[in-house]
Amino acid sequence: MNTIKSYIGNHKNRFVEELIELLKIPSISADSAYKKDILLTADFVLESLKKAGCDHVELFETPGNPIVYGEKIIDKNLPTVLVYGHYDVQPADPIDLWNSPPFEPVIKTTAIHPEGAIFARGACDDKGQMYMHIKAFEYMIAEGNLPCNVKFMIEGEEEVGSKNLSWFVPRNKEKLANDVILISDTGMIANDIPSITTGLRGLSYVEVEVTGPNRDLHSGLYGGAVANPINILTKMIASLHDQHNRISIPGFYDDVEELALVERAEMAKAPFSLENYKKDLDIDAVYGEEGYTTNERNSIRPTLDVNGIWGGYTGEGAKTVIASKAFAKISMRLVPNQNWEKITELFKNHFESIAPASVKVVVKPHHGGQGYVTPMDTIEYQAASKAYEASFGKKPIPQRSGGSIPIVALFEKELKSKTILMGFGLDSDAIHSPNEHFGIWNYLKGIETITYFYKYFIELYQK
Ligand code: BES
Ligand code: MN
Ligand code: MN
């Protein structure tokens, strides 16, 4: 009989090799040119589930990318864990900033990952973290100690808003019925400071278009006499924050839940070094809403950020021109009580209302979703906490994250189950950025911790 530690010891090279194969397929969901690779990746995941021991696997076609499903039902009277993850990845650009090609994984050591990290797009978000669950499952099947039923649902559109999964979930409630949802698609504080993610922010993503004159104009002949859409757009954007760095859209904060001082004091106990934070980012000072700490600003407070802005001439040299149009993509991170559709509406009304008569403004909502808070007074949270204690030798710290996984709130609404977010990535793993990587230690530690979760979950469940 193998313990998980000895099983990992015997199979770790294969675990890493398999993940490397998965990372070689460029499953970029934002770009339809990669559709074939999306399908190859879905097949890879399906085959992995089959090989690991699922007794039923299925590929659900959607108008977008397929949803991979697999299950192992050992006893209808036992509880069921639903594992969710995503096999799609972010685009790799800017390609020039990668030290090695994004879809040719390499292992390199770093200061934080002395045992090596796999560098590739999707290594941490989310292929590496999703695959940990398949390997943990493989172990439990191989050793005959899977203590409950498992269902896997791995989608291919998380990075573009999970549109088809949002359609699929409410129509397959019975199939997806479960007692707890388990996701590894977040991070933890540090390898020696394990943490469990207890909150995700919501999101409203919009695109704005400002149109001035009907065509591009000579900036000498017309400059000064007509509205320059880029000047106007930047002015409008600048006005969205006040001098205290609060968002100035009327009603924006109405539903924000203000945390009690004791809760904020509890949060502030999490280890954090502002000095290291600044050093890591090479900045002299942080910046944000007055009255809140850095950790509060990026977790329990809502934000508004321009993600991209364009218009006019950006090529080599100079061109004297007043562009006809200017554009920006804007994201608002929301806290759990804020309704993303309402916020999108508030943004649209406000942005249109502040436009001067000299331009036309169009606001196009993209996607969005609700935030989520994991309750801690449940057996599943306790099971997760004990699992980290068993593998890290330390009690994990609950931590609200600034990121978003909008489908989690929908799971709660439709499937009536709570989600446990067991993430093993680090903020420095550069997800969505060039040189994304995932520590091999983290990968193997994740596999180990997940198996303990099952063990404690069934123990507490049957108590
Ligand atoms: N895995 C991330 C979310 C995440 C990362 C949460 C780290 C907490 C810690 C996910 O793949 C992601 O990138 N989500 C998007 C939202 C989505 C609607 C595109 C995000 O947060 O920007
Ligand atoms: Mn992810
Ligand atoms: Mn992501």
Measured distance CA(407)–CA(369) in Å, rounded: 7
Tell me: the pLDDT tens digits for 444-453?
999 999 999 9
169 shares its domain with 317: no
Closest residue by Cα to atom 18, ligand 1, is: 161
pLDDT of amino acid 336: 87
Taking 3-state DSSP, the helix, strand and coil percentages for the chain, each rounded to the nearest 5, stand at 35, 20, 40
Q: Decide if pLDDT at 234 tops 90.
A: yes
Residue 50 has pLDDT above 90, yes or no: yes
From the CA of 369, the nearest ligand is: 1
Using CA positions, which residue lies closest to atom 20 of ligand 1? 404
Tell me whether residue 296 is in a domain.
Answer: no
Closest ligand (CA of 121): 3
Residues 114 and 208 in one domain: no
| Ligand 1 pocket, CB under 6 A | 125-126, 158-159, 161, 185-187, 203, 401, 403-406
Same domain, 154 and 38: yes
Structurally, how many domains does the chain consist of? 2
Q: Which of 337, 368, 399 is the C-terminal boundary of a domain?
A: 368
pLDDT band, very low/low/confident/very high, at 418 (cuts 50, 70, 90): very high
Nearest ligand 1 atom to alpha carbon 423: 9
Residues 412-437, mean pLDDT to the nearest whole number: 97
Boundary-marking domain end, from 315, 347, 368: 368
E strand or H helix at 44, and its extent?
helix 35-52
Domain range spanning residue 87?
4-200+371-461
- Tell me if 62 is assigned to some domain: yes
Output the pLDDT for position 35.
98
Same domain for 188 and 212, yes or no, is no
User: Is the torsion defined by CA of 113, 117, 121, 122 positive or negative?
Assistant: negative
Give the number of the atom of ligand 1 that is nearest the alpha carbon of residue 201. Answer: 21
| One domain, residues 359 and 375 | no
Nearest-atom index, ligand 1, CA of 432: 13
DSSP strands (E only) in 299-396: 303-311, 321-322, 325-334, 360-369, 372-373
Q: How far is the CA of 212 from the centre of ligand 1 (A)?
A: 35
Are 122 and 107 part of one and the same domain?
yes
Q: Which atom of ligand 1 is nearest to the CA of 205?
A: 18
Residues flanking ion ligand 2, Cβ below 5 Å = 125-126, 185
Q: Beta 149-155 vs 67-72: how paired, if at all?
A: antiparallel
The pLDDT of residue 226 is: 98
pLDDT above 70 coverage of the chain, percent: 100
Q: Measuring from atom 10 of ligand 1, which residue has the nearest CA? A: 405
In this structure, the answer to whether residues 449 and 344 fall within a common structural domain is: no
Please compute the mean of the pLDDT values over residues 151-167 and round it to a whole number: 97
pTM of the model: 0.94
Q: How confident is the model at residue 376 (pLDDT cuts 50, 70, 90)?
A: very high
Report the nearest atom of ligand 1 relative to the CA of 402: 8
293, HSE (Cβ side, Cα atoms, 13 Å) = 16
- Tokens for 309, please give them: 């802005």
Which residue, 340, 368, 396, sits at the end of a domain?
368
What are residue 323's phi and psi, to 5 degrees? -70, 155
Domain-embedded: residue 404: yes
Ligand 1 probe mutation, 401, 404, 427, 429, most atoms within 8 A of CB = 404
Among 205, 431, 438, 442, which residue has the most ligand 1 atoms within 8 Å of its CB, making it the best to mutate? 431
Q: For residue 252, what are its two tokens?
A: 């924006």
Q: Residue 344 C-alpha to ligand 2 middle, in angstroms? A: 23
CATH code for position 188: 3.40.630.10
Do 72 and 187 lie in a common domain? yes
| Ligand 1 atom closest to Cα of residue 331 | 22
The answer on 408 and 317 residing in a single domain is no
- Which pLDDT belongs to residue 289? 98
For the chain, report the end-to-end CA distance as a whole number of angstroms.
26
Give nearest CA residue, ligand 1 atom 15: 404
CATH of the domain at 362: 3.30.70.360
Q: What angle do CA 452, 456, 267 make, to 5 degrees?
A: 85
* pLDDT higher than 90, residue 460: yes
- Residue 108, in any domain of the structure: yes
CA 54 → CA 73, 79, 117, distances in Å? 8, 16, 29
Domain annotation covers residue 168: yes
* pLDDT for the residue 1: 82
- Domain membership of residue 282 (yes or no) is no
> How would residue 10 be classed by pLDDT, with cut points 50, 70 and 90?
very high
Question: 383 Cβ partners below 8 Å, 6+ apart?
Answer: 420, 453, 456, 457, 459, 460
**Substitution candidate for ligand 1 out of 330, 340, 405 with most atoms within 8 A of CB:** 405
421 alpha carbon – ligand 1 mean position (Å): 12
Give 299 Cα–ligand 1 centroid separation in angstroms. Answer: 13
Q: Does 422 fall in a domain? A: yes
Residue of 56, 188, 127 whose CA lies nearest to 436: 127
Q: What percent of the chain has pLDDT over 90?
A: 98
Statement to judge: residues 48 and 114 lie in one domain: yes
Considering the domain architecture, whether residues 214 and 308 belong to the same structural domain is answered as yes
Ligand in nearest proximity to the CA of 409? 1
Average pLDDT taken over every residue of the chain: 97
Is position 48 within any domain?
A: yes
Sign of CA dihedral 75, 76, 79, 85: positive
344/439 same-domain check? no
Question: How far apart are the CA of 126 and the centre of ligand 2, in A?
Answer: 5
